[in-house]
Amino acid sequence: MASEKNTAEKKSSWFKNVSDTNLLLMITIVVFFVMYISAMIFLGSGFLKPQAFFNILNAQAALIITACGMSLVMITGGIDISVGGVVALVSMSCAVFLDFGGGNPYTAILLALAIGLAFGLVQGFLVAYLDIQPFIVSLAGMFFARGMTTIVHTNPFNVENEAFTKLKMTRVIIPGMGSINKKGIYVDAYVELGVVVALLIVVILFCVLRWTKLGRAFYAVGGNQQSALMLGINVKRTKFLAHLICSILAGIGGYVYFLHVGSGSPSHASGMEMNAIASSIIGGTMLTGGVGNIIGTFFGVLSLSTIQNIVASAGLDQAWWTGITVAAMLCIFLIVQSVIMARKKRA
């Protein structure tokens, strides 16, 4: 009897000791592994090869980058729904620049950064210094970016620049993870360049958020703006920086996306902002600000795309299932967050 009570007490104190960030992060990681392993067991073939996992990374590198930016803004208590539009604008502008403007793929990177920077400066200024709701500002930003994409070029087209195609086909071989294909030939596992960029950004942002003064300021501003101000943090500048970094990351994400698809189209990256927000939320970033983790966001993206792959390979390939599953997952995680917050308040 006594020992039972003891363990119960231990459990509750353990529950209290786990911070919001850690609890949400743990839920996400567990969910991802459970999903992936059960997919391996029940759906087999498609998920057993390591390359299947790397393909998820290849396809979602751009989303990982934009979702990291989104998490950063959400940690400060804001939101940025213009990222999908910026990605589309960047890929269209780069495509036009390469094929009609005679540019090379390396100067196109500068173009991508410049677009991201421009959006970041304007949106950051409006949100931080004029105190306008971030949702409205970035909603306008999203529509502006989408409209501009059509103005830059109307029809979708594939890029035929040679230097770019070479860069696009560059693959990073991962040793020891290859598999034997149907013809019996050993094929190396690979990731695209974009994945390397994405992983670098995840690591850098993680370190910045955890160990630098600026990183802690993001959390402080999101947690409680008044207290942050009293601690001597420049709240406006911090918010401005968060939006700036988010838009620049959207620019980089746009280039990585462009590198993956190799074409420009006004309908590119449609709904990407929603996927980025969903991955951040699934990854344990709180909408109310102050709580979040880049590693969680990374796993959020992986969970999101794994569930989409599961839906596709379980034979439900009608297009509507993807929308419904993503929304259902978002809904569940939102409710879990809200319940956790309510419990905290009562405690």
Residues binding other proteins (CB under 8 A)? 79, 126, 129-133, 135-137, 139-144, 146-148, 150-151, 154, 266, 271, 274, 277-278, 281, 287, 318-324, 326-328, 330-331, 334-335, 337-339, 341-342
The CA distance from 11 to 25, in Å, is 18
**Largest distance between two CA atoms of the chain:** 79
**Would you say 106 or 135 has its CB closer to other proteins?**
135
**Would you say 139 or 196 has its CB closer to other proteins?**
139
Compute the least distance from the CB of residue 150 to other proteins, in Å: 4
Radius of gyration of the chain (CA): 21
> Long-range contacts for 151-156 (Cβ within 8 Å, ≥24 apart)?
152/89, 152/92, 152/93, 152/96, 153/92, 153/95, 153/96, 153/264, 154/266, 156/263, 156/264, 156/265, 156/266, 156/267
**Would you say 190 or 321 has its CB closer to other proteins?**
321
Q: Beta-carbon neighbour count of residue 139 at 10 Å? A: 17
The CA distance from 198 to 201, in Å, is 5
Compute the least distance from the CB of residue 173 to other proteins, in Å: 36
How many residues are there in the chain? 347
Contact 271, 155 (CB under 8 A): no
Compute the least distance from the CB of residue 131 to other proteins, in Å: 6
Compute the least distance from the CB of residue 37 to other proteins, in Å: 26
Compute the least distance from the CB of residue 200 to other proteins, in Å: 29
**Would you say 4 or 131 has its CB closer to other proteins?**
131
Compute the least distance from the CB of residue 277 to other proteins, in Å: 7
**Would you say 40 or 311 has its CB closer to other proteins?**
311
Q: What are phi and psi of 173, to 5 degrees?
A: -80, 135
**Would you say 193 or 246 has its CB closer to other proteins?**
246
